Amino acid sequence: MNNSIVQIITAYIGLGSNLASPVTQINSARHAIAAIDGVKELAFSSLYRSLPMGPQDQPDYVNAVMSVETSLPATDLLCCLQHIEHAQGRTRRGERWGARTLDLDILIYGTQLIESPELTVPHNGIAERSFVLYPLYEIAPHLIIPGKGNVADLIANCPLAGLKRLD
Residue 19: give its domain's CATH number: 3.30.70.560
Question: Residues 37, 57, 90, 153: which is the catalytic one?
Answer: 90
Residue 104 lies in a domain: yes
Residue 72 lies in a domain: yes
Question: Residues 49, 93, 100, 165: which is the catalytic one?
Answer: 100
Residue 1 lies in a domain: no
Is 100 assigned a catalytic role? yes
Is 90 assigned a catalytic role? yes
User: What is the 8-class DSSP label of residue 165?
Assistant: E
Q: Residue 55 pLDDT more than 80?
A: no
**pLDDT band for position 98 (cuts 50, 70, 90):** low
Is 30 assigned a catalytic role? no
Amino acid at 146: P
Residue 122 lies in a domain: yes
**pLDDT band for position 6 (cuts 50, 70, 90):** confident
Residue 2 lies in a domain: no
Q: Residue 2 pLDDT more than 60?
A: no
Residue 131 lies in a domain: yes
**Minimum mean pLDDT among 3-7, 11-15, 34-38, 112-116: which range?**
3-7
pTM of the model as a whole: 0.93
Give CA–CA dist 140/103, Å, rounded: 21
Is 105 assigned a catalytic role? yes
Structural domains counted in the chain: 1
Q: Residue 131 pLDDT more than 90?
A: yes
Residue 16 lies in a domain: yes
**Owning domain of residue 98:** 9-165
pLDDT tens per residue across span 150-164 = 999 999 999 998 999
Residue 71 lies in a domain: yes
> Pick from 118, 19, 122: which is nearest to 133 by CA?
122
Residue 29: how many other CB atoms lie within 10 Å: 25
Give CA–CA dist 21/141, Å, rounded: 29
